[in-house]
Amino acid sequence: MSCELRVASKCNVAEFHSQLATRNSQLYDVAMFRLTREVRFCVNPEEDGQIGRPPTNGFAGYPSLIGIGHFFALEVTLVGEPAAESGFVQDIKRIDQKVRQTVVPMAAAFVRRGRLAGGGMLVGGIFEQLKDAWPGSELHHLRLALSPFLTLTLFAREFPMIRLSQKFEFSASHRLHNPALSDQENQAIFGKCNNPHGHGHNYVLQVTLAGMPDCNGHLTDIPRFEQVVASTVIEPFDHRYLNLEIPRFSDLNPTVENIAMVIFQMLKPKIEAMGVKLAGVTLWETSKTWCEYME
């Protein structure tokens, strides 16, 4: 009889832990600790001497934005084991220091010399500078926010490929209902969401592309990309009753999971026709509930 993880009493303890480790290794990276630090900084049109002074407002961004300029937020994610003495995967002060010493001047040079363009070359350059910056930890990925809605991500395992994510929104109503179940069963499963007249959400959709940036750091033509998403998803879905007005949901319950899947399937051929990969979509039904779908 095979030894099942759920019945440890029937297994040799060592064998049980071996099986558990195997299962976990399939679900997670070997390094189980991931530390992420976000460093916010600004690049003003001209050098103003801020970087030579101690940070004054790391929360809002340092160097500080003093007018019209560029605001960046860089997430650095490290993997590793916490040090025995400190309990840190890495001291976040060292992360901040390295980013401000290395990345801020690099970003400033890209901006002031007119080389920022799509941002892909900057993200690649940042990765090259930071990949070995913190001994004892491994750089897992970087995420650079060019706006609150547009981000570029570079995973170490995918370098030099980058990912571009852009957010969109639409409002729609739906009813969660399974016609194969009784009214009582539907009420028990879906509660208020089973209201025969439906209910609505302000959905936030994030679409993530993956590929190689061109020589100017562009992964794709962003206005064209946005138009594809708008015509394929936003315009058909916005202010619609999904169950009745979107054919795919006539026989598919429009849960956040299923909506995310349908959006991915609708976008995939059109995105790939642009020469990039659709890496995934994430759909927020509320600020507390969202689903990511990828293939």
Q: Would you give per-residue pLDDT tens digits along the chain (295 residues)?
A: 333 333 333 344 455 445 545 554 444 455 479 999 999 999 999 988 888 788 888 899 999 999 999 999 999 999 999 988 889 999 999 999 999 999 999 999 999 999 999 999 999 999 999 999 999 999 999 999 999 999 999 999 999 999 999 999 999 999 999 999 999 999 999 999 999 999 999 999 999 999 999 999 999 999 999 999 999 999 999 999 999 999 999 999 999 999 999 999 999 999 999 999 999 999 999 999 999 999 9
CB atoms within 10 A of CB 13: 9
Work out how many domains the chain is built from and give that number: 2
Break the chain down into helix, strand, coil percent, rounded to 5: 35, 25, 35
- The verdict on residue 18 lying in a domain is no
Q: Which domain holds residue 225?
A: 163-293
Per the residue annotation, which of 42, 141, 177, 285 is the catalytic one? 285
Q: How far apart are CA 133 and CA 211, in angstroms?
A: 25
- The verdict on residue 152 lying in a domain is yes
Task: Tell whether 266 and 153 lie within a shared domain.
Answer: no
How confident is the model over 80-126, as pLDDT tens digits?
999 888 899 999 999 999 999 999 999 999 999 999 999 999 999 99
Task: Tell whether 152 and 245 lie within a shared domain.
Answer: no
- The verdict on residue 23 lying in a domain is no
Q: Are 213 and 219 in contact (CB under 8 A)?
A: yes
Domain boundary among the residues 96, 127, 158 is at: 158
Alpha helices in 72-206 (DSSP H): 92-98, 104-112, 120-130, 183-190
Per the residue annotation, which of 158, 239, 272, 292 is the catalytic one? 239
Q: Are 217 and 117 in contact (CB under 8 A)?
A: yes
CATH code: domain of residue 151: 3.30.479.10
Task: Tell whether 103 and 199 lie within a shared domain.
Answer: no
- The verdict on residue 187 lying in a domain is yes
Per the residue annotation, which of 11, 70, 193, 218 is the catalytic one? 193
Domain boundary among the residues 158, 175, 196 is at: 158
Establish whether 193 is a catalytic residue: yes
Task: Tell whether 49 and 140 lie within a shared domain.
Answer: yes
Q: What is the pTM of this model?
A: 0.85
Helix (H, G, I), strand (E, B) or coil at 64: coil
Task: Tell whether 214 and 236 lie within a shared domain.
Answer: yes
